[in-house]
Amino acid sequence: MTVISRIAAAAAFALLMISGTAFAQGASVAFGGLKHDASLPVEITADELNVDQATGSAVFTGNVVAGQGEMRLSAGRVQVQYATENGQVTGRIDKLIATGGVTLVNGGEAAEAQKAVYSVSGADIVMTGDVILTQGANALSGEKLTVDLTSGSGRMEGRVRTIFQTGGN
């Protein structure tokens, strides 16, 4: 990287850092690796499963890994909420609610948080609590990450902090 390129990269980074609190409070970013087909089946493995037919939910605990296509979500606990029609549970998954060391991996991107709610029918994931997103060598953190899995777009909110690798030595 030439000296001029390094100065330009440093100037761009400085401009981003002083451009105002709007950037510090929320940032829209591309999540191409998190784009996927939400119609694929969901496979879940865990140490234990408790099912409540009355409420239409199942709770997986202990080393839980939920997979759909190439996307993997791991956590200490995942509650599965099933969709209902006319007051009856359909057996179709509506939401996965993950807590306890949540990690979401898809392609070259990974995100960690305290909690994640994956709306299968809405094809979106909302991660909250000390969220860290890594995309290759770059990292982004905040309090809330919302990802639209259909478009691959997302938004990080809550005192956003980022580290950009400039490729320099």
Question: The domain spanning residue 90 has which CATH number?
Answer: 2.60.450.10
Supply the pTM of this predicted model. Answer: 0.76
Is residue 11, in this structure, part of any structural domain at all?
no
pLDDT < 50 regions, the chain: 1-24
Is residue 113, in this structure, part of any structural domain at all?
yes
User: What's the pLDDT tens digit per position in 76-114?
Assistant: 999 998 888 887 777 788 899 999 999 999 878 899 999
Is residue 98, in this structure, part of any structural domain at all?
yes
Token pair for 70: 């190439």
Is residue 8, in this structure, part of any structural domain at all?
no
Is residue 10, in this structure, part of any structural domain at all?
no
State how many domains the chain has: 1
For residue 131, the enclosing domain spans 22-163
**Which H or E element spans position 9?**
helix 3-18
Measured at the CA of 67, the angle between CA 132 and CA 27, to 5 degrees, comes to 25
